[in-house]
Amino acid sequence: MSLLNDALRNAEQRQSAPGAQGAYVGQPRAVGERASGRPLSWWGLGLVLAGLGGVLIWLLWTQPSSSSAVIEPVSVSTGPIEARPSPDKSGSVGNEAPSTTTPTASADTTQTSAETTRVAAVEAPEPTQAPATDDRQSDAADNRPEPATAEPDTDGNEPEESATATGEAESAPSTSVADREPRDDTESAPVRKTRTTPEALDREAAEAIRAALNDGRIAAARRQLAEIVQSQPAPLSRAAWARHQLVAGQPRDALQWLPVSQTREHADLRLLRARAQQAMGEPQAAIATLADNRPAVARAPAYHVTLATLYQQAGQPDRAAELWAGLIAHDNGRGGWWVGLALALESDGHPQRAARAYREALGLDNIKPALARFARQRLDGLEG
């Protein structure tokens, strides 16, 4: 207001001073010419308007913002004044760019003096954020280009990539947790039930019987055998029990579990039955058991050896010699079979053939020492 009063006071002084109009406007006045009041009034009005404009600008710059924005003083420099973008003070979360507005001076003011303009520019501070209600400043802010760093990505690639990265980050822990969890193969994999055959059950029962007999649990082995034979022939279980009883000197107990109905189709069971009968002093019964349905020599050589021995003991050396010859034809490298043939030939009245069989037995390297001494004695007796 003091500036306005000073301007008005100066204008009044110029109007009241004689010859001021011509000196102010720079127009010389002719001698005797009467001064006109119109030029002085126009220049005075211009000065008043310039002063009012400067005061108005000063009031606009110095008026506090309704939005309580912080106003920072502007440093005066000789160069042009550049507006700085204000930092984002909203604190909101999002991709909205901070708006930086810079007030502009009115362009419709008239020409003012250099002194008035300089004073107004120095005294007027530059706000960093304009009020929200100022329409002119909002329009200027809209027309002013915003800083490139505050512009969000208009293509939308960054939000999509962020969403993709977030989805991958959320799905990754669930996958890793699923990989760390132990898998129960029994639940996912189908359960295959193997069909248990009678032969498999017989093998398991035979092993259990042998284990019980070796441990001396005779009653447990007997119960196991009685249980398995109720559902099937169980040849392996019967053989396990019979062998143990024959070794233990219990041929009758072994024979109890070797009936003819079960031994007829199994050569191993027939051989065990014949040995039990032989141990009980029944050689003819044993021969009858083995003579029927004889297996091949290659399949069951022990079967033929037992039958040949029974024939020899029963006084039938010719049949025994026949069986021994069949065994030697299958394998001529066993000394016991040569000695058996020699005894059958010697008993059947063929000493020369018997002596030759003894020599064949003694010529083998795998003959047992006791059997070799027996063959040497028999050979010396035939040659002496």
| Listed residue (208, 236, 235) closest to 224, CA to CA | 208
Tell me the pLDDT tens digit for each residue of 51-106: 888 878 877 777 654 444 444 444 444 444 444 444 444 433 334 433 443 333 33
pLDDT of residue 194: 58
Residue 351 covered by a domain:
yes
Residue 105 covered by a domain:
no
Name 285's Cβ contacts closer than 8 Å, sequence gap at least 6: 274, 277
Question: What is the overall mean pLDDT for the chain?
Answer: 72
* 305 plus 289 within the same structural domain: no
* 312 plus 273 within the same structural domain: no
Residue 28 covered by a domain:
no
* 234 plus 317 within the same structural domain: no
The count of structural domains within the chain is 2
Residue 234 covered by a domain:
yes
| pTM listed for this prediction | 0.50
Q: How confident is the model at residue 47 (pLDDT cuts 50, 70, 90)?
A: confident
* 271 plus 208 within the same structural domain: yes
Question: What CATH number should be reported for the domain holding residue 313?
Answer: 1.25.40.10
Q: Which of 179-183, 243-247, 296-300 has the lowest mean pLDDT?
A: 179-183
* 305 plus 363 within the same structural domain: yes
* 336 plus 288 within the same structural domain: no
What burial class does residue 237 get, using C-beta atoms within 10 Å of its C-beta: 0-12 exposed, 13-18 middle, 19+ buried? buried
Residue 268 covered by a domain:
yes
Residue 241 covered by a domain:
yes
What mean pLDDT comes out for the span 204-220?
A: 95
Question: What CATH number should be reported for the domain holding residue 214?
Answer: 1.25.40
- Domain membership of residue 236 as a residue range: 200-293
* 301 plus 288 within the same structural domain: no
Rounded to whole angstroms, how far apart are CA atoms 47 and 354?
A: 167
Three-state secondary structure readout of 25-69: HCCCCCCCCCCCHHHHHHHHHHHHHHHHHHHHHHHHHHCCCCCCC
Residue 142 covered by a domain:
no
Residue 61 covered by a domain:
no
- Choose the final residue of a domain: 257, 278, 293: 293
Do 236 and 202 touch, CB atoms closer than 8 A?
yes
Tell me the pLDDT tens digit for each residue of 232-279: 999 999 999 999 999 999 999 999 999 999 999 999 999 999 999 999
* 352 plus 340 within the same structural domain: yes
**Structure-block tokens of residue 249:** 């000197």
* 305 plus 288 within the same structural domain: no
Q: Which of 26-40, 51-65, 286-300 has the lowest mean pLDDT?
A: 26-40
- Choose the final residue of a domain: 272, 293, 314: 293
- Choose the final residue of a domain: 242, 277, 293: 293
pLDDT of residue 193: 52
Strands (E), 336-384: none
pLDDT of residue 35: 42
